[in-house]
Amino acid sequence: MTKHCQILGTRAGYGNSVSHSHRKTRRRFEPNLQKKRYYVPSLGRAITLTVTPRGMKTIDRIGIDSAVARLIAAGEIKA
């Protein structure tokens, strides 16, 4: 599975874990990635995207056809 949202490009963030005694160790803040299948009428087939919940809301707002057009233009998926 990809480590970023295919719609928004959200990647892991980095920071510190801070203990009770205030010792700091590095850690990663992983995005909430989900695999989601969408049927794309313009392609005539279903595609599986790795997206965050915010990316799902973006797809709901702009529509799957325009979202897929963005991904094809960016080279993220093949037509």
Q: pLDDT tens digit string along 25-67?
A: 999 999 999 999 999 999 999 999 999 999 999 999 999 999 9
For the cut 90, the answer to whether the pLDDT of residue 78 exceeds it is: no
pTM as predicted: 0.86
Q: pLDDT at position 2, please?
A: 67
How many whole angstroms separate alpha carbon 28 and alpha carbon 4?
Answer: 13
Query: How would you class 58 by CB atoms within 10 Å of its CB: exposed for 0-12, middle for 13-18, buried for 19 or more?
Result: middle
pLDDT at residue number 42: 93
Distance separating alpha carbons of residues 78 and 71, to the nearest angstrom: 8
Q: What is the pLDDT of residue 1?
A: 56
